[in-house]
Structure 1
Amino acid sequence: MEVGYLRWRRFTPKSPRAWLLLALAAFGLSLASALIWAMPATLTALGWQAGLAIAVVLVTFILNAATSLPADIIFLGGAAVLFLSGTLDEEAALAGFSNSGMITVAVLYIVVVGLQQTGSLAWISQQVLGLPKSERAALWRLMVPVMGLSAFLNNTPVVAMFIPVVSDWCRKLRISPSKLMIPLSYAAIFGGICTLIGTSTNLVVNGLLIAATDTPGMGLLDIAWVGVPCAIAGTIFLLLTQRWLLPNRQSGFGSIEDSRQYTVEMVVAENSPLAGKTVEQAGLRHLPGLYLAEIGRGNQLLPAVSPKELLRQHDQLVFVGVIDSIVDLQRLRGLQPATDQVFKLEVPRTERCLIEAVVSNTSPIVGQTIRESQFRTQYNAVVLAVARNGERLPGKLGNIRLQAGDVLLLEAHPTFLEQRRVSRDFYLINGVPDSEPLRHEKAALAVGILVAMVLLAAFGWLSMLKAAILAAIAMLVTGCCSPTQAIRNIEWSVLLVIGAALAMGQALEVTGAAGAIANSFISLAGDNAWISLVMVYGITTILTEVITNNAAAALVFPIALSLAETLGVNFMPFVIAIMVAASASFSTPIGYQTNLMVYGPGGYKFNDFLRVGTPLNLLFWLITVIITPLVYPF
C-alpha cells in the first residue's frame, strides 16, 4: 500500500496548472472517444481520403504542441501531404494562398508600417494605454479599448494596429510580450461577438438566416445579450489567471543594468510639443534603462534633474542609457540630436539608419575629439552617442576624446555597413534594427488614411480587402513609409501558416469529413432541445479551431436549422450559439487570424493557446448554452 501511495504521489499533479492540464486531457480523450464511437461507419462510407484529412490535421496539431519545429514548416508539410496524396487538387491546395483574408492580413502589415514610421502608434500608446504599475493593470488597460474598438470594427486591423504598440509598451513596462499578446487577440474576439458587425462570421450567419427563413434578420445588438456576458466573463478569467496560465517567454528586462551604457545629447527643438511640459509629462522618466543625467540651459547646468522640472526650447539634455532606449529618444517627437551634423549629411534622414561601430586601435581618430576628427566629412556619418566600458562620459558629445574600444552609435545611410565592414578603422560594425528616423510631419496624414480605411469598410462602401489595399497604396504614395520598409515588415511566416491551414480546412470540407463529424456529434443529442444546443455549440467550436470560422458556421447552420425544425423549437438559440462558437476561437493559433498574428510577436508555442484557450472555450460554451435559451426561449 505504501508503494502504491508513493507511486500516486509521484504521478499526482503538483500545481493548479497541472491539474487543469490533466482535466483538459481527460476531456479531450472523452470527446475523441465519443467521436470514434459515433462515426466509424460514416468515415468508412466517405473513403480513405476523409480519414487521411483527419489524420493529417491531428498529426499537425501534435507536432505543433510537442516539437520545436516552426509552425509554417509543419503546416506546409501537412498541406503538401494532402496535395501529393490527391486529397486536394492543385486549385484547392493553393486556394488558401489567394484567400482574401490572408491577403488582407498581408496588406494591413503595410498600413501598420505607415502608422509606425510616422510615430502615430507611439502617440496611441501614450494616450490610450498609459503607464500602469502592474501586469494585471496593464492587461485591463489593454483589453478595454481593444474590445470597444473590435465591437464595431473588423478584428484584424485592430490587432494589426496594436501589435507594434503592445511590443513597444511591453519594453517600456518591462513586461514580457507573451503576457499581453494572447490577451490582445482574445480581447478583439471578445468585442467582436458583442455586435452583429463585430466580426464577419456574425454577418455570414445573419445572411444565412435571412436566406433560409422568412425573418428580416438580426439587429445590431441582438447578440449582445449573450456576447457581453461572455466578454465580461472572459476578461475576468484572464485577469484572475494571467499569472499562472499566460507564459513568460522573455527574461531579458531584468539584466538591463549589465548592458552597454551610451552617453547621448539631445536638444528640445524649436516649437517642440515637449516645451512647457515637465520631464515626467514628456515621458522621459519611463524609458527602461535610461536616465536624464543633466540639463544644459544656456550657461546654467542642472545636474540633478527633478521629474517636475519644466523643459524649455533649446534645452540640452544629456542621457545615459542602453541602445533600445537611445533609439526611442531618436524617435520622440520634439527632440533632436544636439549635434547639427545630422542636418548636414547629404542623405535624407528618412533614408538613414543607426549603426554601432567599435573604434579600432589603428583608427586615425583615436586620441582626437569627435569634433577634431571631422567624423562627418571623413565617414559620411554622424556620431550620436558613445559607450565606454559602462562609464559616464562627461561634457558635450563633440568634446569626447575617442579611445580604442569605444562604441559609437552612428546615423548614416545603410551603405555605410558594406563600405566600412572591412575597414581597419573599426573592429566591428552592426546595424541597429528598426532604427530609421520617424516621419513625424506625416503622422496626421497616416492617421487620416487609417480612419478613411476603417470608415470605407465599416459602412460597406468597400470590402475590407479593397479598403486595406487603398490605404496601403496611400501610405506608400504619400511617403508615410518606404517600399523597402513595407516589404521587410510583412510577417511572411504568418501568411504561410494561414494559407496552409486554409488548405487543410478545405480538405476536411471537400472530403466530407467535417460534415460527418458535425452530424455524428449532433446525432448524440437525441430529441432534447437543450442537449442539441450544447452539441451544436460544441461541434461548431471544434470545427472553427481547424477550419475557417465562416466555413464552420456555414457547415453547421443548415444542420442546426434542420434539427430545430425536427424538434419543433425556435431556431434562434441555435443561430446565436453558432455565432458565438464560430467566433470564439481560443484553443489554437490557427483557429482565428488574430491568434496567428500574435503567435510570433508573443514568442508563443502551440500549447500556450491550448492551456489558456481551452478553459475559455469551455467557459463561453457554458455561458452561451445557459443564457441563450433564457433570452431566446425554445
Structure 2
Amino acid sequence: MSWEAWFSVFVILFNVGLLIFTRVGADIVLVSGVTLLLLTGILTPSEALSGLANEGMVTVGVLYVVVAGLRETGAIGWLGTRLFGRPKSLPGAQLRMMAPITALSAVLNNTPLVAMMIPAVGDWAKRQNLAPSKLMIPLSYAAILGGTCSLIGTSTNLVVYGLMTERTELRFGLFDIAWVGVPCAVVGITLVVLFHRWLLPDRRSAIGQQGDPREYTVEMLVEEGGPLVGKTIEEAGLRSLPQLYLAEIDRGGRVIPAVGPQELLQGGDRLLFVGIVESVVDLHKVRGLIPAPDQLFKVTTPRPRRILVEAVVSNTAPLVGKSVREGRFRSLYNAVIIAVARNGERINRKIGDIVLQPGDTLLLEASPEFAQAHRNSRDFFLVSRIENSNPPRHERALLALGILLGMVATVTLGWLSMLQAALLAAGLMLVTRCITGSVARRSVDWQVLIVIAASFGLGRALEVTGAAETIASSLVALAGGDPYLSLVMIYLITMLFTELITNNGAAVLMFPIALATATGLGANFAPFAICIMMAASASFSTPIGYQTNLMVYGPGGYKFTDYFRAGIPMNLTMAAVTLLIAPRVWPL
C-alpha cells in the first residue's frame, strides 16, 4: 500500500482509540481526522466535505424537524402508549418495543422510524421508570434487524440488488432475503432480551436516583369531556410518572385522600400532586389535564406559546405573607403560579391556600419573555426557564400523525425519495402550525449531523487510497480457494468495513470483490450477495457504522465502548446465523 493508504488507516485507528479511551466529543474527534487527511492532500476539499451533501445526512437533519412536530403536538406520547403498552419488567419492555419496530422496519425506511421513536421510547422509559440506556440501543438494533428482512428494508439491500441486476443474471424477490433476515431478527431480539444485563449499561440521571430537594405541590384539573374522563388513575398513566405522588382528589368539594389505582376520574376533578419538576413538566403535557388555577386563562399570552419558568421568591417581594389567591400574581406579572416548592418540605394544601415565604420556589406558566424581563427583578432571587415545557398543541396531534403517515406512504410507494418526502413533511409541520420556526431550529441535533458527515470523509479516504480494496483482496486470498471459507471471509470483511466506513460504502466496495471470487471459484453468487446485504446492513459494534446507532448515542447516554459490549456479540451471532442458513438456501 502507498503511504497515503497507511496514513489513512492510522488516522482511522487513532480516531477510534480516542473515542474509546477519552471523553472528547465524537464530532471533534472525527472532524479532526478529516482535517488531517485534508491537510496532507489525501482528500480533496470536495471529498472531505462530501458527507455534508450526502442525502442520508440531510434527511436525518430534516427528520428532526418532523419529529419535533410530533413531539410539540403530543402525538409522540400517544404513539408510545398505544404501541408499547405497560410492561411488567425490563425484558418485557424490550420485547414489546423491539418486536413491532422490527416488523415496521421490514417495510419502512428505518431512519425515519428510529427518528420518530427516539422521543416516544424516551418518554415511555420515563413513565415506566426504566433506564433509557436499556432501550435505545435495542431500538436501533430492532430497526436494523427489521431492515434485513426485505429488499426495501434498507438502502443497502437496494444498492446491492441494483449492482446485482446490472452485472449478473441473478434476481431476488422482495422477501427472498427473509429466509436469513427473519431468523437473524428472532435470534437478535432473543439475545438482547435474555442477556441485556451484560450487554447494555444501566445509566440513570443523578436526580432520578437521589431525588430532587424541590418537591412541588401542583393542582391539575380533569377536563370536562376530555379523554381521561371514565378512566382509572392507572389507565390514565398518572401513577407511572417517576417521583410524582397523587396526594388527593377534590371532587365537588369532597376530598378523596389516599387515592387508589382503580379510582375512576370524573370531569372537573381537581388532582393534587406532589413531585419533582421533571415529572410536573410531564404532567403538564398529559392530554385531558389542565392546570387548575382559575386565573391561568386570563393570561394574555396564547397558551401554546407559554413556557414553564422557575422563580425563587425574595424577601422583598410583595407576595410574601400572602396566599397565592390573595397575591394578585397574574395582574403584577402576567403569569400564573401552578406549583410551589418549599425547602424540600411537602405542602399538603391547595395552591391557592399556600401562604408564600421567602425562598419558596414557584413554577410559573408565563410568556417566553418573562424570564428575561424579570431576571434582575428584586422580587425574585433567581428566574430560570425550563426547556421543552411548552404545552402540547393536542388539537393538532392527529394532523401531525397524518403528515407522518403521508411521508411514510409516499416513500413506501416510491412516489418521492426519502429526502423529498421529509422536506415536504417538515414544511407541512410548519405551515399547519404543528411547530414554530424557533422550535424547528432548536430541534436539529447538529452534533449528530457533523459526526455522520465526518464519517463519510474518513470512509472515503480508505476507498480513494486503495487501502480498503487491498485489505479485502489480501484477506480473501487467505481462504485458499475454498468456496465456504471465501464466503466467510467476504462476510467478515464486509462486517468490518461497514463499522469503519458506511454500510453502503462497504457494500459497493465488496460487491466486485465477491463477484470476482465467486466467478473464479465457479460458485453460486447468490449466497455471496446475501452475505454482503446482511453484513453491510447488520452494523452493531460502533455508533458511526450505521446512522440509527448514532442517533440513539446521545438519548441513551452511551459511551463509544458500550457499542462494543453490545454489538460484538450481535455481530458474531448474525454472522453465525447467516453463514449457517445462506449456503443451505442457495447452495454454493
TM-score (norm 1): 0.91
> Partners in 1 of 2:101 and 2:286 — Cα distance?
25
**Aligned-pair CA distance for 1:554:** 1.1
Structure-2 change in CA distance of 1:469 and 1:188 (3 Å): same
**Who is 2:350 aligned against?**
396
SS in 1 for 2:273: strand
**Aligned-pair CA distance for 1:245:** 2.0
**Aligned-pair CA distance for 1:248:** 1.9
Structure-2 change in CA distance of 1:307 and 1:272 (3 Å): same
SS in 2 for 1:599: coil
Contact 2:233-2:264 within 8 A present in 1 as well:
yes
TM-score (norm 2): 0.98
Contact 1:256-1:289 within 8 A present in 2 as well:
no
**Aligned-pair CA distance for 1:256:** 5.3
Q: Pick one of 230, 254, 269 that aligns with 1:300.
A: 254
**Who is 1:118 aligned against?**
73
Contact 1:268-1:336 within 8 A present in 2 as well:
yes
The one-letter amino acid paired with 2:191 is F
SS in 1 for 2:500: coil
The one-letter amino acid paired with 1:534 is V
Cα deviations by residue, 1:116-168 (Å, 9 ceiling, x for unpaired): 11111100111111222222111111111110111111110111011111111
**Who is 2:421 aligned against?**
467
CA RMSD, 1 decimal: 1.2
> Partners in 2 of 1:576 and 1:140 — Cα distance?
27
**Who is 1:39 aligned against?**
none
Contact 2:118-2:136 within 8 A present in 1 as well:
yes
> Partners in 2 of 1:178 and 1:451 — Cα distance?
28
Q: Pick one of 192, 201, 208 that aligns with 2:156.
A: 201
Cα deviations by residue, 1:224-259 (Å, 9 ceiling, x for unpaired): 111111111111111122101211222536535453
SS in 1 for 2:248: strand
**Who is 1:20 aligned against?**
none
Contact 2:129-2:240 within 8 A present in 1 as well:
no
> Partners in 1 of 2:466 and 2:203 — Cα distance?
40
The one-letter amino acid paired with 1:201 is T
- Which aligned pairs between 1:177-576 and structure 2 lie closer than 5 A? 177-215=132-170, 217-252=171-206, 255=209, 257-576=211-530
**Who is 1:585 aligned against?**
539
> Partners in 1 of 2:302 and 2:37 — Cα distance?
51
> Partners in 1 of 2:181 and 2:207 — Cα distance?
37
**Who is 2:31 aligned against?**
76
The one-letter amino acid paired with 2:192 is L
Contact 1:590-1:596 within 8 A present in 2 as well:
yes
Q: Pick one of 32, 36, 41 that aligns with 1:86.
A: 41
Moved more, 529-538 or 415-424: 415-424
SS in 1 for 2:357: coil
**Aligned-pair CA distance for 1:306:** 2.0
SS in 2 for 1:74: helix
Contact 1:355-1:429 within 8 A present in 2 as well:
yes
Cα deviations by residue, 1:483-512 (Å, 9 ceiling, x for unpaired): 111111211111110011000111111111
**Who is 2:569 aligned against?**
615
SS in 2 for 1:174: coil
> Partners in 2 of 1:258 and 1:210 — Cα distance?
61
Contact 2:129-2:241 within 8 A present in 1 as well:
no
The one-letter amino acid paired with 1:80 is T
**Aligned-pair CA distance for 1:437:** 0.6
Contact 2:33-2:458 within 8 A present in 1 as well:
yes
> Partners in 1 of 2:205 and 2:35 — Cα distance?
37
Contact 2:108-2:153 within 8 A present in 1 as well:
yes
Gaps of 5+ in 1: 1-42
> Partners in 1 of 2:175 and 2:18 — Cα distance?
41
Contact 1:263-1:385 within 8 A present in 2 as well:
yes
The answer to whether the aligner puts 1:137 opposite 2:92 as a matched pair is yes
Cα deviations by residue, 1:262-286 (Å, 9 ceiling, x for unpaired): 1111111121111111111111111
Structure-2 change in CA distance of 1:162 and 1:259 (3 Å): farther
**Who is 1:67 aligned against?**
22
> Partners in 1 of 2:461 and 2:126 — Cα distance?
41
How many aligned positions are there? 588
Cα deviations by residue, 1:569-606 (Å, 9 ceiling, x for unpaired): 11101000000000001111100000110111111111
SS in 2 for 1:72: helix
**Who is 1:21 aligned against?**
none
**Who is 2:7 aligned against?**
52
Q: Pick one of 105, 115, 130 that aligns with 1:150.
A: 105
> Partners in 1 of 2:127 and 2:6 — Cα distance?
49
**Who is 1:40 aligned against?**
none
Cα deviations by residue, 1:63-111 (Å, 9 ceiling, x for unpaired): 1011111111000000000111100111111110111000000000000
SS in 1 for 2:308: strand
Structure-2 change in CA distance of 1:127 and 1:256 (3 Å): farther
> Partners in 2 of 1:341 and 1:495 — Cα distance?
44
Structure 1 stretches (4+) deviating beyond 6 angstroms? none
Contact 2:223-2:267 within 8 A present in 1 as well:
yes
Contact 2:127-2:241 within 8 A present in 1 as well:
yes
Contact 2:213-2:343 within 8 A present in 1 as well:
no
SS in 2 for 1:220: coil
The one-letter amino acid paired with 1:56 is V
The one-letter amino acid paired with 2:112 is P
**Aligned-pair CA distance for 1:531:** 0.4
SS in 2 for 1:409: strand
The one-letter amino acid paired with 1:173 is Q
Contact 2:212-2:276 within 8 A present in 1 as well:
no
Cα deviations by residue, 1:502-560 (Å, 9 ceiling, x for unpaired): 00111111111111111111111121100010011011111111112111111111111
SS in 1 for 2:552: helix
**Aligned-pair CA distance for 1:393:** 2.5
